[in-house]
Chain A
Amino acid sequence: MLAMVRAATEEGSFAAVFNAHHRQAVRLAYLLTSDAFQAEDIAAEAFAKVYVRWKRGEVRDVGAYLRRAVANEANSKLRRRYLERRESSRRSGDDRGVRLVDEDAADRDEVWAALARLPDRQRHAVVLRYYEDLSEAETAQLLGCSVGTVKSQVSRGLAKLERMLDPAADAGRGGGSR
């Protein structure tokens, strides 16, 4: 409650910005990392970074800016991936992290399970292309890589998903691409 009072006074309309975008930010972070604990951490860090620029009046499109901040935060987690996984495992059972409306739905979703097994860069590219509906050029700009790299990552990611989801069909095609 104290936080909300502050939001109404000192931080002013940033609370409105938060209210308008926080759900989308957390969802994107969750899809990028497949990690409930990291999702909120990433979203909070992204909002804090956006706040600095927003307060100076440098952010024209908060949604796009926040998306970039979330993707960048998720990307930077790659380097700390091992430690984060260990921390996430250690904290399993506590009540932090996003809430899942249907706790079992994700477990029943075999596509989601396969997505979680993709290498981080492939999953980031796939999520940005098929969840955020970004173009290849927009995805490349957001990930700080070339368009060719995005094409390659998405193509390889989809091929790998197909193999994981339908190994029999893949075997029937002769094993598919490497």
Chain B
Amino acid sequence: MTRIEQRVRDSLQARATDVEPTPDLWDAVDRRITRRRRVRVTAWALAGAAALAAVLVVPGLLTGTISLPDIEPITPPPVEEVEVDVPAEPLIVVHDRDLSVVTAQEVRTLVTLPEEGESTFVHVAVRPGSTLDDLTVVTTTTAEGFHDLRWTRLVDGEVVVAHTAFEGAYAPAAAASTTASLSVPVWAPDGSAVAWIDQVGGDATLRVVGWDDGPGTGDPATDNTAFTLELPAGVPLHLQEWVGSVSTVEGMTEIRAVRDDLTTGWYTIPLLRQADGAWSQPAGAPSVTAEPGPPVDGVTAALAGVTDDVVVRFMVRLTDVGAVLVTDPYGTAVSTALPDDLQPDARAAALWLAPAGDGVVVGGSEAGVAWAVAPDGTLTPLDVPIRWGSTLR
């Protein structure tokens, strides 16, 4: 142990023994337990009444207030109206040929792919910093076995750039080959680049394209680059999020990903931003690293967190009893069983998570359904067809 390590250890021990809890601490714990118990009772009453009514009105839920249906419940609920913390933030969604925004007030279609192209949307990723007044999204589309990347920008609700394909040096391999696959795109935390994986046969390549009012910057340092990922062949990697400030090394970021390989954890792809803005991978480090999973059952199918936070906030775990959402998997690890209509989609390629406030939206792309999960575990179906979704951030 070095001298500085010993000094730190001694100081921490001294300061720890200098601390005494106040007698009020148990009262504080007691109040919190009581409050949580009240919330759970309320949530159960709501769930029972809602199940009997079999009716849920999404716009009402999105505003955060639910009026219980006018029914005769088996057990009278203790309250007439409850506050449920479900996402009130706009959700940008794709389904079939439509790109839409779901807000508390409405579901509004922003753009529709032309019918003659026979393309449909698969994924959507909202550029960080976007608002409903100035919105930029990158989407993946599919048509006749080809996958493509497109982008769309709306200003003040008006489409100024409509579903323009990535072309030339920025085109994904899957746009020219039906044997290539294209991952979900992810944005750099500051919106300065977008990345995806081109998977051709057993080779996986991470593509990073700088952004300046569209794909490419014109600056050789930041315009576009690619990294070969050293992975066992056969199982594609599914990108989940691009996280900034993961360490004290200036410019270090990581892209998090999962695979359908029954891993308990997830994968990180480290990306270092150089002084000139160019992206690189740290010298001598693996291009992809398998990270240990949390001490909870199952394998990882999806994960999401806060962009500038290193902690994974939400995970979908595949367990013996089906797909489960785990909130705070490295902390209190609260599990919520996902609804039956998400279970057939329970694999990494088909499930998506979109953090919204303190809750999260969980979707299944093949079933075309999504559910809002409130912090207390309350599940609310979003009553519109959704193949993929992404929140503003």
Contacts and interface: CB of A to CB of B under 8 A. Distances in A.
Given A31-B12, A149-B310, A165-B7, A106 B18 contact: yes
Interface string B329-361: 111111000000000000000000000000000
B132 to A, nearest CB: 23
Nearest to A99: B20
Nearest to B296: A58
Interface string B314-338: 0000000000000011111110000
Contact of A144 (B20, B33, B310, B334): B310
A96 B24 CA distance: 9
A131 B357 CA distance: 34
B-side interface mostly: mixed
Contact of B33 (A51, A119, A140): A51
A144 B32 CA distance: 25
A96 B15 CA distance: 18
A73 B331 contact: yes
Determine which residue in A47, A105, A156 has the highest number of CB atoms from chain B within 10 A of its CB, and name it: A47
A65 to B, nearest CB: 8
B248 interface: yes
A134 interface: no
Contact of A111 (B7, B294, B328): B7
Interface string B1-29: 01011011111111111111110111111
B332 A50 contact: yes
Contacts of B25: 22, 26, 40, 43-44
Contact of A49 (B18, B21, B311, B332): B332
Given A6-B30, A72-B328, A131 B22 contact: no
Range class of the B interface residue count = 35 or more
Contact of A98 (B19, B27, B32): B19
A106 B15 contact: yes
Interface string A64-105: 000011011101101100000000000000011111111001
Contacts of A141: 292, 294-295, 330
Range class of the A interface residue count = 35 or more
A79 B309 contact: yes
B330 A146 contact: no
A101 B248 contact: no
B303 to A, nearest CB: 10
Nearest to B10: A111
Contacts of A162: 4
A137 interface: yes
B311 A143 contact: yes
Nearest to B7: A111
Contact of A105 (B4, B8, B14, B24): B14
Contacts of A20: none
Nearest to A44: B28
B275 interface: no
B32 A44 contact: yes
B312 interface: yes
A96 B26 CA distance: 13
A68 B7 CA distance: 25
B332 A52 contact: yes
Contacts of A41: 28
B229 to A, nearest CB: 16
A23 B21 contact: yes
Given A127-B12, A131-B16, A158-B5, A146 B289 contact: yes
B33 A11 contact: yes
B249 interface: yes
A106 B2 CA distance: 23
A161 interface: yes
Contacts of A97: 22
Interface in A134-172: 137, 140-146, 148-149, 152-153, 156-158, 161-162, 165
Contacts of B268: 146
A6 B26 CA distance: 11
B291 interface: yes
A41 B21 CA distance: 11
Determine which residue in A98, A122, A130 has the highest number of CB atoms from chain B within 10 A of its CB, and name it: A130
Contact of A68 (B4, B270, B306, B331): B331
5 closest Cβ pairs, A-B complex? A72-B331, A48-B32, A111-B11, A44-B28, A144-B311
10 contacts: A31-B15, A44-B25, A52-B36, A52-B332, A53-B333, A105-B18, A130-B8, A130-B12, A131-B9, A145-B247
Interface of A: 3-4, 6-7, 11, 15, 18, 22-23, 26-28, 30-31, 39-41, 43-45, 47-53, 68-69, 71-73, 75-76, 78-79, 95-102, 105-106, 109, 111-112, 115, 119, 121-122, 126-127, 130-131, 137, 140-146, 148-149, 152-153, 156-158, 161-162, 165, 178
